[in-house]
Amino acid sequence: MTQQSPDPLLNPARAPTLAGVERAAAKVAALLPQTPLLPLDVDGATVWCKAECLQPVGAFKIRGAWHRLTDLTPEQAAAGVVGVSSGNHAQGVAWAAKRLGIPATIVMPSNAPKMKLAATRALGAEVVLYDRVTESRDAVAAKLLEDRGGTLVHAYGDPWIIEGQGTAGIEARAQLNARGIDGPDKVIACCGGGGLSAGLALACPDAEIIAVEPEGWDDLTRSLAAGEILSVGDLSYPTECDALQTPQTWPINFAVLQARGVRGVVVTREDVRHAMRVAFEKLHLVVEPGGAAALAAVLAGKVDPGEATLVTLSGGNVDPKHYAEILAE
């Protein structure tokens, strides 16, 4: 099981902090170039799109994974890590683990996109499949840790992961400031479990944060409105946003989001598909359905842009045939 460290910074029960985001940002800056921040005109207003789909693994998840795995003790690293993921976090953990020489096992849904399963395995990670509707991935991961040992690297319920994802906000703020823009004043984030939204809430303390979920998987939106953590009602509800299919958020994420007054917004399948086409036509970017949710909320008029609005294009791992069908509509 996960070993406890006397260093409070290495305590998995700690709360994520802005200082932690800044520490993670220094690590990420030493490893990866900044992703582009691209302007997009939306009905006369400019929104700034953070192209995380251009990361080496095609998604922002590499940020949190690198921050988490580089803080493992030598003993923890030798014992390996176990992650849970719909696909993008899997690739982030596998990429970081391969670079650091750490054994990695990822619990992934059996109906995850084939390209995400193949990419995770190609990076050297072991993949353990589970049924998204009838099994709990957290329970599967817990059993693996009990049997094998190692450290859990959760997709969003982890202080390092939250801090690492927030580094996208640190970068974007610097990129805006370099253009003479004071911001962001509004951050619109694609949201599954809330790791990215929570990280951005820490990284951009003066900005309004809006978390965007796909219809049927809007548990965080309902949770924030109700003031308590609620679960997805129907785990078999169909959605193309596989990257955002999480059954419920974790208290560590919810505490950050609640403290910052974050609100949720829900987008439809049609909203998301339209955003994918706009990203291709106007920005020349390949964005997967889950990665287009934030832009979808703006284009559908569900969120009004501010003076300096940041929009996350959080992933671009989409099956080519499926993507071509969407573009052809």
Catalytic residues: 61, 314
Residue with tokens 């005109």: 41
- What region, left, alpha or beta, does residue 44 occupy, with left being phi > 0 and alpha being psi -120 to 50 degrees? left
Residue 229 tokens, joined: 């953590």
- What region, left, alpha or beta, does residue 3 occupy, with left being phi > 0 and alpha being psi -120 to 50 degrees? beta
Instruction: Dihedral sign for Cα 279, 285, 286, 292, please.
Output: negative
Contact 224, 42 (CB under 8 A): no
Burial string for 18-28 (b: 16+ CB within 10 Å, else e) reads eebbebbbebb
Contact 172, 313 (CB under 8 A): no
What is the rounded CA–CA span in Å between residue 144 and residue 128?
9
Residue with tokens 């955003």: 275
Residue 300 tokens, joined: 């559908």
Residue with tokens 């709990």: 136
Of 216, 290, 252, 325, residue with least CA distance to 52: 290
What is the rounded CA–CA span in Å between residue 88 and residue 85?
7
| Angle between helix 251-259 and 159-178 (nearest 10) | 40
